[in-house]
Structure 1
Amino acid sequence: MNPDSPAEPYSAARFPSAQLAAGALASLEALQHSASHTRDAILALGNENERLRQQVEELRSENSQVKSHIESAQEKIHILESRLEREQSDNSQLQNHIRDLHLDLAAQDLPSLALKMAMELTGAEVGLFTEADGDDALARVGFEDLQEFLIEAIFDYSRRTAHTAEPTVENEAKNLPDGAGLVNLAALPFAAKGQLRGVLLLANKRNGPFTDAECQILLAIGQHAGLAMENARLHSKVQEAYVS
């Protein structure tokens, strides 16, 4: 080469090794760039995996808490169900006791209730409810001031009704016992299942005589009262047999 000749410009084509080095450098830079992206992607996946792992742990913790709450709720439900069963049993026993007590009280009050109802329906001022034989008043309104012989004379009507099992009606004051202060009188049998259970005697109906219609109503009341008394009696016998 002539030292005096001008220098020629650099050309990679004239230097193959330099060209290869440049290509390798470019490939290396591309690989480094790709590796950087890959590293970033791996880090992102790692972060996402950690986030998912934490979510899984949180869900497991929540699931454990929910499971614990469910078990606690089930235990409370079991306790409440047991308590409800005990309360239902106690209520059943209480209801049976109240029913038995009601029947006992009803059996004692039936004569008084029947007498009161009959007096209200008819307007009678005094009355008796006797045993089936016509004696021994189970309920009584009035007649307190009468002498014993007058009371016995009135009981004659209930005894007659008990004997005949037919109503006895007297609307003429002159035919009634003197000194008893009676203006009229009606004695009606209380029967149930063909058996006499008692006699209802009413007197001093001030708004008129005792009528056949009133007697039929009173007989119907008597039938219901007689059935109730019989049911109460049978219930009492069952209770006594159960206790013994």
Structure 2
Amino acid sequence: LVVTGQLDRESEPQYILKAEARDQPTKGHQLFSVTDVIVTLEDINDNPPQCITEHSSLKVPEDMPLGTVLTFLDASDPDLGPAGEVKYILVDDVHGTFRVDPMTGALSLEKELDFERRAGYNLSFWASDSGRPLARRTLCHVEVLVMDVNENLHSPHFSSFVYQGQVQENSPAGTQVMVVTAQDDDSGLDGELQYFLRAGTGLEAFSINQDTGTGGEVHGEAGPGGQ
């Protein structure tokens, strides 16, 4: 019995054949006997690990506590024994910001994230089997997107301590008197401004639109960082 075709244990681990032996009589009927032949393929390390998701992405808020498991890196290897056991190794540790457990693939956070400093990380890791004499490995990727958390650290500030303007006493309603500008150094919603008239004389004679800063007798408009 010899091999005449390509064998692959992962697709066909065992073959069951029927073998027949026949005599060659010079006279009379030919006699024969049949037996089963079972061929089991032995595994070799012919498959590298395969990334379950070749390129995956996850979103992580910047205030995620240290030590949190962000995801589990995952790869599969159809080989048997050590040749099918996958270990995980980060190609670069991004200054120690992340850590991966080589046995479980657990990707955890080791250093604080800061959206303003860095909004994302493209991580690469080796998924390697333990085959002998030669181990096989595959390079996989995961993208970590840092999500901004509104910290609201900065108070709005006006570009001038005092605004002065003049308007004629017979001006109709809606006349613009001046532009009031303020800024807020926070990002996102924390940096969007609204305007209000909250104290002073003549509140019944003047108004300001809290969202756009327009309308009534006074027009207020946000500068960079606000609206």
Please indicate the TM-score interval, normalised by the length of the shorter structure: under 0.3
Normalising by structure 2, we get a TM-score of: 0.23
Normalising by structure 1, we get a TM-score of: 0.22
Larger strand proportion, structure 1 or 2?
A: 2
Larger helix proportion, structure 1 or 2?
A: 1
